[in-house]
Amino acid sequence: MMEKIKKSDAEWMTLLTPEQFKVARKKGTERAFTGATWDNKKEGVYNCVCCGLPLFQSSTKYESGTGWPSFWQPVAQENVALETDRSFFSIRTEVLCARCDAHLGHVFEDGPKPTGLRYCMNSAALQFEPKAP
């Protein structure tokens, strides 16, 4: 079992930009086609912006056409937590960092093979770590 990281909003605000705080800690969403990594094609790992937990490999990233970084599977299923999201008059599956509960985005069942899943994430909730040369 992963040890949880808990911080107050004031502590998170000193560690994150206002956009990162709004998205990751307050369940916000960045505008489509505006995030730093939605069209990133470099090799590497996408980590949680709050706690650094590895979440997605670039090898599972694909162009979904939505304007947000999309992946067909996480680095490890235990690194993400899923919760039912009933906001905005719909029912969706929210994706959270399993270690610090940062809001990452949502997962949908309209992705490519082999999983058929689309983890639609916010760039502001991810920190890209390029593959070492």
Residues 44 and 61: beta-carbon distance below 8 Å: no
- Work out the number of other CB atoms within 10 angstroms of the CB of residue 107: 23
**Which residue in 48, 50, 97, 120 is the catalytic one?**
120
CA angle, 67 then 100 then 84, to 5°: 60
Active site residue 97: no
Of the candidates 8, 101, 119, the residue with the CA atom closest to the CA atom of residue 57: 119
Residues annotated catalytic, as ranges: 120
